[in-house]
Chains A and B, each alone.
Chain A
């Protein structure tokens, strides 16, 4: 079995975001980066499946972007992935989901991956499109927002989130793309011996341009920091009085408390 895990490096959300000079992205200086959290669930699930199958499957981790994306790639290797592919693109943030997905599909097309894991969305853009488009381009099944995953005798049984508190259990054969949601698993911390072992693992670098579609289907028109709402009304003092005042305000100002 061959498994691919697609991960993205995203800025830490506690950063102060400043719009860049071009006005279509943020200024990258002074930002801290980390692995997209949903992709950590993807890495963990791939490694758990490898362990379940006695170490048989080969797990490849893939990331697109400038050289800095090697940081989360190394973390994924330390978590247990076997090898890595870096699709180099210094302008990956300027690509739309279609182009990113086409690069992944282009790279994967002749590699016969049985399973492709990725996060259900990225924490920065949160488009939640890349996994589904990859499956469409590769012509394989796609199951999104998965919160439970079991593999037996070549068949996957997964629980996925739907709306309205509904979930559903789906069954599918490989090959397939699975996008991972909060609650699927608890990503492991890389141990020091595994970090050391990871240093010897192979990282192949290739230009993303060799695989990606050249034309973007959508583009960013404007990119701006939303206007801050003014600070609200703060009540202090006697608990009973505050509760009365608040309930009074809510009755008057909202349509839902009466």
Chain B
């Protein structure tokens, strides 16, 4: 496929220049000219009133030279200057992929006052850290983060770039992928690489976990994916590892389109349910807001976070950021205790990949028992207070 200017018809109106999302159209010798950054998207073909641009389907797309791309990168997310746990998980997974391909693992680390943490990324598996440390990068901003990663990737051509499937990774990775004209797979739970071809097999749940799909980006590089929290094993720390830290000077290109006014930490949400190891969740079966406090107490003695079904949120027992399910958060803790939850697919979709699931429900036929590792058939109002008491005793 190729895009071609028909010189006779071109009136030099420059409409195609404004229309091109990739800046691939320019004026040369008084006529439009399509440069090599053209992605064949066809935007210019649509806007040309004079039918002076044609896209020829019969010609084959100039194949991307896949072998020019080398190395595995991870975007190392930080929250308020601390390396996010998902970044260590990505380093663990990235290390495996890099070793299989016999190539280097690099981390891209963006923020402010984070320089001292860069060596932690090396200790956890990175061979190289690209560090962008600037006061302007303290708060996450789609535009600046995307610009830094896009520029670095254009220059160094990695074959794989991974980020956590966090609000941040999911927000700016699509922008980077489309700028680089490559594919992106969101929310992966399994990654596997063909050591020979370098094709990354990116497996992700869809339809609330009813189906698994393996996605490939066969003709483009880098292969980009966001990876769910807590699915991959974090890389162990090894302080004897050595690596390089390359500082990237940050200059803001043009105005940022969005401005962060302030970052807020909302009360009661201090434990992010996506990152918690233990989650205690409650459903309508609890019967009242007062009973819902039982859940909160059990979570507290266990050192876990509180989650809820949509039903409990709709009843107003707990605010929506705690909602787990098909709408709401997808969580993957080491232990998920479902109290008074029937197990509707909408809820199960958000928690079924938890390592150990405990269900407490009065109804032995409740579907939650189909996904539970351990089930207690009993009244939550009796079972939970006893559990709280016994765990307290156990912990002295």
Contacts and interface: CB of A to CB of B under 8 A. Distances in A.
Contact of B79 (A128, A166, A253): A166
Given A221-B201, A224-B212, A247-B390, A170 B258 contact: yes
Nearest to A235: B376
Nearest to B170: A128
A112 B167 CA distance: 28
Given A13-B326, A106-B46, A233 B373 contact: yes
Contacts of B387: 243, 246-247
Interface in B346-375: 346, 349, 355-358, 364, 369-375
A142 B142 contact: yes
B112 interface: no
B266 A145 contact: no
Contacts of A225: 210-212
A227 to B, nearest CB: 10
Interface in B35-91: 39-43, 46-47, 57, 61, 77, 79-80, 84
Given A97-B184, A164-B84, A166-B265, A143 B258 contact: yes
A234 to B, nearest CB: 4
A242 B355 contact: no
Given A13-B346, A255-B334, A168 B175 contact: no
B139 A243 contact: no
A250 B170 CA distance: 34
B93 interface: no
Interface in B164-222: 166-168, 170-175, 177-179, 181-187, 201, 203, 205-220
B175 A133 contact: yes
A214 B3 CA distance: 12
A163 B329 CA distance: 11
A123 B211 contact: no
Contact of B43 (A14, A106, A142, A164): A106
Nearest to A125: B206
A242 B142 contact: no
Interface stretch (B96-104, B115-123, B235-243, B274-282): B274-282
B181 A168 contact: no
Given A109-B19, A139-B21, A243-B390, A163 B274 contact: yes
B257 A182 contact: no
A238 B323 CA distance: 31
Q: How large is the interface on B (under 10, 10 to 19, 20 to 34, 35 or more residues)?
A: 35 or more
Nearest to B394: A247
B184 A167 contact: no
Q: How large is the interface on A (under 10, 10 to 19, 20 to 34, 35 or more residues)?
A: 35 or more
B258 A172 contact: yes
A85 B372 CA distance: 45
A229 B348 CA distance: 13
B364 A123 contact: no
A221 to B, nearest CB: 4
A219 interface: yes
A132 interface: yes
Interface string A183-224: 100000000000000000000000000110111111111111
Nearest to A99: B41
A233 to B, nearest CB: 5
Contacts of A117: none
Interface of B: 1, 19, 21, 39-43, 46-47, 57, 61, 77, 79-80, 84, 139-140, 142-143, 166-168, 170-175, 177-179, 181-187, 201, 203, 205-220, 257-266, 269-272, 274-275, 277-278, 302, 319-321, 323, 326-328, 334-335, 344-346, 349, 355-358, 364, 369-379, 382-383, 386-387, 390-391, 394
30 contacts: A105-B21, A106-B46, A126-B206, A136-B21, A137-B178, A142-B142, A143-B142, A144-B170, A145-B171, A162-B140, A163-B167, A168-B260, A169-B263, A170-B258, A172-B257, A214-B42, A220-B215, A223-B212, A224-B211, A232-B357, A232-B369, A234-B364, A234-B369, A235-B374, A236-B378, A239-B379, A239-B383, A244-B390, A247-B390, A254-B355
Given A141-B143, A182-B327, 7 more contacts: A97-B184, A109-B46, A142-B175, A144-B170, A215-B40, A256-B278, A256-B334
Interface of A: 11, 13-14, 17, 19, 26, 37-38, 96-98, 101-102, 105-106, 109-110, 121, 123-130, 132-133, 135-145, 157, 160-173, 176, 182-183, 210-211, 213-226, 229, 231-236, 239-240, 242-244, 246-247, 249-250, 253-257
